[in-house]
């Protein structure tokens, strides 16, 4: 099986290159990169006018399997990933049962092998049952292949649990991913606290709830020397805290979602449950701080927090609807529309934050284009104009705040391990 | 913008949604009136945020006519005969429900009440299914009260009957906002430039939010006051004045609208005790002396006498609290009439 990608704009953020060339793929690996390649018997993919990037990585995905298959499963979630241009995704452990032991880690990896179409990495729970009390068998899970540890969906309210987790995991060199929002302050709110929530009468989740949580996580990482990754940063206070911590040499990394970079809290005024998410969509001042943080490297990665729900779960009163929505199939389009076509970021910067950065945080041998590495690549048409239509999603989660929105830029092919698994939006079996 | 409408009026009763009294012209049994080209026909009433000044004025003017019917010995008119209205209440409320029920009945409509205890909600039926069931029964209007903000919007997006929001969580209570406006207009003539103090638990109050949306559009100067813990943070960004000293809001106020304090807020730690609330934030004669001598006292009810409002204030000659109840009925009659009949088909008023 040989595949030759011809005349594409090859962007490789690891060595900051951006030049026209060809890539030859043989036996699932990148065999050659250079100008005017040719190879007897290779299938040719004409990539002129298109961008060839390392396969996109999303480090924050909820695949919902096991137990929550009405929302998503490994088969549907990995197809959504392929459609969105992702070759590797890391799935969160807040399933039923919670992924809190090595058998479940192995089980998900096996099922992903059998039913998935992209690479799946597993994130194990920090506490047994994600109950925030006892440390789960995190070392065993890391040995079984877990790439990070997290109680995502919940804040680790018990500071001692996080402290112990950070110290214990030092031996295993695995980061703890924190969903940082103080429960007492944010727990019963369901949108950003601001002028919009004030007039909608909806209880807010104040930005300070995130700031406090991020500050505590940073202080514990600094105290223990452990490594903490802040998921879906959404407040300007959190951005500044992370910026200062990085200057002090604290081992902290961070991610931001496309929706927090693209939308503000006034979209909630329609009471469309597709706008309900934790942490919430915030006001424009926070959005600007997130863009600045992503630009200057304070925020390392872009991750979409793909959190699909069944239609009937989201089809109800705003207050009672679950938080989160599908993101894999809109992520790249939203980012290119809002960051690249506005002139704020270069393609190289964007691709770095969607490939090399998450690979660095999770210590994956991917996110780069070089001879000998597994051939995971994404081919992007940065100028392709399209309209989001959730009915055509591969994910089961049909709610998205981007539904009907006109976007510019899309993945037109996804290659995993040398196999062309998605072309022009169609995922091949 | 003005058009002429000819109306046959046989018994001296004429309901026109849109006239000013002096614009009436009598032509031998025929009343001709000017009507504005603003209509609420087939519109759901979800909140005052979504209503224009012209629409609100149309409701207020129509309510003036409706109030005449309430004062008559035989109140029933057949205007809405054959129309059915359902009061779908997911939260108990005797006042608002009764007011809507009488409003519908005075106009000849069939009115049915469904409240939570009687409905299938307790069995875990979704709001969509409850609404679709009601829709299948062929009702024309659903008057809905629900504890979740945006529930009325959801209903309007989900089923075809017209929705009148009778309160959605802490979001809006548009008929209360309109009746408060109507009451202020009745005593003060107009709303433009009036200093209106809204006192108490603004944070959890749909009444406050509908008042703010409506009165702001009408050009009033709005001041809210109460314990800081019961004032929504960032609400000053909407262009109203926020005070944590009640006295500052009362200073030279034309209208004092006192909101109900729910004692469960104290348990959540939002204020220390009922006693302290009454002492520091309650409206009594001493504090009221700061307002204009002819200040109007309002309260959406039900009152906690001695807590947010002293009895001698509630029953003083400045109090419009009883009048608010009557006006509420007139406003709800006007709204039902306007959304169902839109000011056309006036000949059906025999
Ligand atoms: Zn999370």
pLDDT tens by residue, A177-221: 999 999 999 988 999 999 999 999 999 999 999 999 999 999 999
The closest CB to that of B148, out of A195, A206, A319, belongs to A319
Please pick, among A265, A305, A381, A403, the residue that the annotation labels catalytic: A305
Q: What are the backbone dihedrals phi and psi of residue B125, each rounded to the nearest 5 degrees, phi first? A: -70, 145
Which residues in chain B are closer than 8 Å to A200, comparing Cβ atoms?
149-150, 171
A vs B: CB pairs below 8 A: 69
Q: What whole-number distance in Å separates Cα of residue B106 and Cα of residue B112?
A: 14
- The residue with tokens 């991610």 is A255
State the pLDDT at residue B32: 38
Minimal CA separation from A37 to chain B, in Å: 57
Residue B116 sits at the chain A interface (C-beta within 8 Å): no
Can A2-52+374-384+405-427 and A55-362 be said to share one CATH topology? no
Comparing CB atoms, the residue among B126, B171, B234 nearest residue A316 is B126
Cβ of B150 within 8 Å of Cβ of A200? The answer is: yes
Give B49's contacts in chain A (Cβ within 8 Å).
199
- Nearest chain B residue (CA) to A193: B233
Q: How confident is the model over B48-63, as pLDDT tens digits? A: 999 999 999 999 999 9
Q: Is the peptide bond before A269 cis (omega within 30 degrees of 0)?
A: no
Q: What is the mean pLDDT of residues A58-63?
A: 98
Q: Spell out which residues of chain A touch residue B152, defining contact as CB-CB under 8 Å.
A: none
CB–CB of A200 and B171 under 8 A?
A: yes
* Cross-sheet strand order for the sheet of A301-302: A56-61, A86-91, A119-124, A148-150, A176-178, A228-230, A252-256, A301-302
Q: Is A55-362 in CATH node 3.20.20.140?
A: yes
CA distance A319 to chain B (A): 6
Averaged pLDDT score across all residues of chain A: 97
Q: Which residues of B are less than 8 Å from A201 in CB distance?
A: 149, 169-172, 204-206, 209
pLDDT at residue number B117: 57
Task: Please check whether residue B212 touches A, CB under 8 A.
Answer: yes
Nearest to B238 among A199, A271, A317 (CB): A199
Cβ atoms of B297 and B256 closer than 8 Å: yes
**pLDDT at position B68, please?**
87
B128 CB within 8 Å of a chain A CB:
yes
Residue B190 burial by CB count (10 A; 0-12/13-18/19+): exposed, middle or buried? exposed
Under a CB-based contact definition with an 8 Å cutoff, are residues A316 and B126 in contact? yes
A6 pLDDT higher than 50: yes
Over range A294-322, report the average pLDDT.
97
Both tokens assigned to A262: 């693209």
Q: What is the pTM of this model?
A: 0.92
What share of chain A has pLDDT > 90, as a percent?
Answer: 98
Q: Residue ranges of the domains in chain A?
A: 2-52+374-384+405-427, 55-362
User: Given CB atoms, is B169 within the 8 Å cutoff of chain A?
Assistant: yes
Question: Are A137 and A107 in contact, with CB atoms under 8 Å apart?
Answer: no
Which residues does residue B144 pair with via DSSP β-bridges, in sequence order? B88, B165
Give catalytic residues of B, as residue numbers: 95-96, 123, 145, 173
Mean local confidence (pLDDT), A395-423: 98
Residue A160 or B344, more confident: A160
Judging contacts by C-beta atoms under 8 Å, the chain B residues touching residue A184 are none
Chain A residues in contact with B169 (beta carbon < 8 A)? 201-202, 319
In chain A, % helix, strand, coil (3-state, to 5) comes to 35, 25, 40
Q: Do A201 and B49 touch (CB under 8 A)?
A: no
The shortest C-alpha distance from A303 to chain B (Å) reads 30
A389 is catalytic: no
ipTM: 0.90
B270 Cα: distance to centroid of ligand 1 (angstroms) = 29
User: Residue ranges of chain B with pLDDT lower than 50?
Assistant: 1-34, 118, 344-350
Predicted pLDDT at B121:
55
pLDDT of residue B349: 44
Architecture of the domain delimited by A2-52+374-384+405-427? Roll (2.30)
| B234:A198 CB<8 A | yes
Grouping H, G, I as helix, E, B as strand and the rest as coil, residue B287 is helix
What residues of chain B, 272 to 331, have a C-beta less than 8 Å from chain A? none
Residue B30: strand pairing partners:
B8, B27
């Amino acid at each position: 099986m040989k595949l030759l990608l011809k005349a594409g704009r090859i962007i490789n953020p690891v060595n900051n290159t951006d030049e026209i060339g060809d890539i030859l793929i043989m036996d699932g690996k990148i065999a050659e990169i250079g100008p005017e390649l040719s190879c007897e018997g290779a299938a040719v993919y004409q990539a002129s006018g298109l961008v060839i990037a390392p396969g996109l990585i999303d480090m924050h995905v909820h695949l919902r399997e096991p137990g929550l298959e009405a929302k998503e499963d490994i088969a549907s979630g990995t197809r959504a990933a392929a459609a969105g241009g992702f070759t590797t995704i890391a799935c969160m452990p807040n399933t039923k049962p919670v992924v809190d032991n090595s058998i479940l880690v192995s089980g998900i990896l096996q099922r992903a092998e059998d039913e998935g179409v992209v690479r799946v990495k597993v994130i194990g729970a920090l506490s047994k049952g994600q109950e925030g009390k006892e440390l789960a068998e995190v070392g065993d899970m890391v040995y079984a292949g877990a790439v990070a540890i997290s109680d995502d969906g919940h804040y680790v309210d018990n500071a001692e649990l996080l402290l112990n987790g950070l110290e214990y995991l030092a031996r295993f060199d695995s980061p703890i991913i924190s969903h940082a929002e103080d429960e007492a302050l944010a727990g019963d709110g369901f949108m950003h606290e601001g002028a919009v929530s004030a007039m909608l009468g909806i209880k807010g989740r104040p930005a300070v709830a995130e700031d406090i949580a991020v500050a505590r996580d940073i202080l514990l990482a600094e105290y223990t020397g452990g490594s903490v990754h802040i998921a879906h940063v959404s407040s300007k206070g959190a951005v500044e805290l992370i910026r200062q911590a990085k200057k002090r040499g604290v081992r902290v990394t961070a991610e931001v979602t496309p929706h927090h970079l693209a939308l503000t809290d006034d979209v909630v005024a329609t009471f469309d449950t597709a706008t309900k998410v934790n942490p919430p969509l915030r006001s424009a001042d926070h959005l600007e701080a997130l863009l600045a943080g992503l630009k200057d490297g304070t925020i390392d990665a872009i991750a979409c927090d793909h959190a699909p729900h069944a239609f009937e779960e989201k089809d109800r009163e705003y207050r009672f609807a679950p938080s989160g929505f599908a993101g894999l199939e809109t992520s790249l389009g939203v980012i290119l529309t809002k960051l690249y076509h506005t002139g704020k970021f270069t393609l190289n910067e964007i691709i770095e934050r969607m490939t090399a950065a998450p690979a660095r945080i999770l210590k994956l041998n991917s996110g780069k284009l070089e001879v000998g590495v597994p051939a995971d690549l994404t081919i992007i048409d940065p100028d392709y104009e399209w309209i989001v239509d959730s009915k055509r999603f591969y994910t089961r989660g049909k709610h998205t705040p981007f539904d009907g929105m006109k976007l510019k830029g899309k993945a037109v092919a996804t290659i995993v391990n040398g196999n062309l698994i998605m072309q022009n939006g169609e995922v091949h079996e | 913008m003005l058009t002429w409408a000819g109306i046959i009026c046989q018994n001296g009763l004429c309901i026109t949604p849109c006239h000013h009294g002096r614009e009436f012209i009598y032509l031998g049994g025929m009343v001709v009136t000017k009507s504005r080209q603003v209509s609420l026909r087939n519109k759901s009433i979800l909140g005052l945020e979504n209503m224009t000044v012209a629409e609100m004025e149309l409701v207020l003017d129509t309510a003036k006519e409706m109030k005449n019917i309430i004062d008559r010995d035989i109140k029933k008119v057949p205007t809405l005969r054959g129309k059915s209205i359902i009061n779908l209440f997911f939260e108990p409320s005797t006042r608002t429900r009764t007011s809507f029920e009488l409003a519908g009945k005075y106009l000849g409509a069939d009115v049915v009440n469904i409240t939570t205890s009687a409905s299938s909600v307790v069995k875990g039926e979704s709001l969509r299914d409850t609404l679709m069931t009601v829709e299948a029964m062929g009702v024309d209007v659903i008057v809905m009260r629900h504890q979740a903000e945006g529930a009325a919007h959801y209903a309007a997006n989900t089923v075809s009957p017209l929705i009148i929001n009778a309160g959605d969580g802490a979001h809006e209570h548009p008929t209360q906002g309109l009746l408060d406006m109507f009451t202020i207009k009745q005593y003060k003539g107009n709303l433009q430039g009036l200093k209106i103090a809204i006192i108490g638990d603004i944070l959890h109050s749909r009444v406050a939010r509908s008042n703010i949306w409506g009165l702001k559009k009408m050009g009033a100067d709005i001041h809210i006051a109460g314990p800081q813990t019961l004032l929504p943070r960032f609400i000053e960004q909407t262009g109203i004045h926020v005070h944590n000293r009640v006295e500052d809001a009362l200073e030279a106020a034309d209208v004092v609208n006192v909101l109900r304090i729910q004692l469960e807020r104290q348990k959540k730690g939002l204020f220390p005790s009922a006693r302290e609330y009454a002492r520091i934030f309650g409206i009594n004669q001493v504090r009221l002396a700061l307002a204009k001598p002819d200040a109007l006292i309002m309260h959406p009810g039900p009152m906690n006498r001695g807590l947010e409002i002293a009895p001698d204030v509630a029953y003083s000659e400045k109090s419009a609290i009883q009048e608010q109840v009557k006006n509420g009925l007139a406003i709800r009659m006007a709204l039902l009439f306007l959304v169902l009949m839109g000011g056309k088909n006036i000949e059906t008023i025999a």
